[in-house]
Chains A and B, each alone.
Chain A
Amino acid sequence: MTDPFDVLAIAADIRQGRRSAVSVMTETIAAMQVRDTSINSVTRIFGPRAVGEAEQIDRRLTAGDDPGPLAGVPFGVKDLFDVAGEVTTAGSVVLRESPPAAHDATVVARLRAAGAIPVASLNMDEFAYGFATDNAHYGITRNPHDTARLAGGSSGGSAAAVAAGLLSLTLGSDTNGSIRVPASLCGVWGLKPTLGSVPREGAYPFSASLDVVGPFAGTLDGLRVAYEVMAGGPMPELPAASDLRVAKLGGWFGSNLSDALAGAIDAVAAHLGGLETVELPEVARARAASFLITAAEGGTLHLPRLRRHALRYDPATRDRLIAGALLPSATLVQAHRFRGWFREQVHALFRSADVLIAPATVGEAPPVDQPTIVVDGQVVSARANLGLYTQPLSLAGVPILSAPLLGTGGLPLGMQLIAAPGREAALFALAGALARAGLVGRVPLPAVKGR
């Protein structure tokens, strides 16, 4: 049986005739219909059309044509990516009556050209504003590792679908951590590429100067191929991991994290021969700047709709957007000026390091019925604060790979691998070495652990 988490194994089985694309697709749809009921990661299944596209893949293979490296691989999209013929809701009822998309989002079109087939849209926080995937219209997405826990957000459906083995590949977006947070809490791979390196056309925006789109996958190789397809070409050859200078981010990134997470990161550091700890200055202000830019850009984006029908929004989203729209221009400009300064500080660290490591969240997924975390001794909202370690780094625009940690003994925990702009290859090289050492990798679901 094909490993349902392995993008490349699924494609290889189809390309080499061991399985038909139709059988993979019908099995995927059946699994979503049956098994998603407990986690609520899927909002719509593109059933008949996805099966039709799978039939086309099979016909092309029979005719000796090459459908591409992802031939027949079903994939899901956070419900803010345009899929031609489908309505893009961005997790809201506000856009539900919009006309269907005329074209695929660029990254969807690129994956389709590589043979992959969009099969489902996936749950998210309304308009991507949150870290919980607690959606007033479409429900909460629950963590497949413990359905009493949050999956994280805002791309929570995308992470949970991969973690549950429903889909091997999904798409998400990351403005302040919306790929990295749910990837970490669900124990799967996720990538936030360099800002601007992967086209966003056809992805519903949130905060235009921060938004990045990227993949989730059940395997590191699958993540890599998906990223290369989405970016429009292969990465440079991966450097030797042993040649990479790796350092650990301390200070802000060494406070508030759970003992289990600190221990797992220390184990990675020890494996790499002990790492120098480096610090970024003014991280609290960087997080504040990211928060303000997001609020102001998101609020302004939605202002025309808020004028007409504010009460149709999820109240939590609406009130944040209105407050953002009311921010003084002096505050927004100052946040962008600080961003310029902070980016220089981040880039400076890469003069003496190739990859930085840091926690992705403070700890494991919070309970659904008590969605809080503790920061500096204070109990605070998970929906607003799970991005404690991801938000400041968003401001810099650098590429970050979310690597699931193994051997932590509990619910999934994740680590950010951070590189200089355009150096995704260094991230994949280090992640590969750590995976071969058994320190990172997709976290098995509880039912599978004992096998």
Chain B
Amino acid sequence: MSEQDGDSFVPEEAIVIATARDIGLSVDGSCLPGVVANRALLRRYADLVHGFALPDTCEPAYEYRP
């Protein structure tokens, strides 16, 4: 699996390793296939959420307000 930016391909595993490094996490090679698969699943869900236009005044609902 890979991400395409113009003509360049970046292997998904490399993206996982680099992104994890940003948060101080070293990902063992045995974890990479599972993490890549889960990232792909989460990206599909992220596309759904980002694909819905919200007004700028719609605030994040971190707190519960009945």
Contacts and interface: CB of A to CB of B under 8 A. Distances in A.
A333 interface: yes
B28 A336 contact: no
B25 to A, nearest CB: 5
Given A288-B45, A339-B61, 12 more contacts: A285-B49, A295-B42, A303-B25, A310-B25, A310-B27, A319-B31, A320-B38, A323-B42, A324-B38, A330-B50, A331-B42, A338-B52
Contacts of B23: 303, 325-326
Interface of B: 16, 19-20, 23-28, 30-31, 34-35, 37-39, 41-42, 44-46, 48-52, 54, 58-62, 64-66
Given A322-B27, A324-B42, A284 B48 contact: yes
Contact of B19 (A295, A310, A326): A326
B61 to A, nearest CB: 4
B14 to A, nearest CB: 13
Given A310-B28, A323-B42, A318 B34 contact: yes
A316 B30 CA distance: 12
A292 B66 CA distance: 22
A285 B46 contact: no
Nearest to B46: A331
A209 B35 CA distance: 24
A77 interface: no
A331 B49 contact: yes
Contacts of A384: 41
B34 to A, nearest CB: 3
Interface string A330-374: 110111111111010000000000000000000000000000000
A66 interface: no
B28 A338 contact: no
A343 B58 CA distance: 12
B52 A319 contact: no
Contacts of A315: 30-31, 34
B50 A334 contact: yes
Contacts of A18: none
Contacts of B61: 336-337, 339-340, 343
Nearest to B19: A326
A340 B60 contact: yes
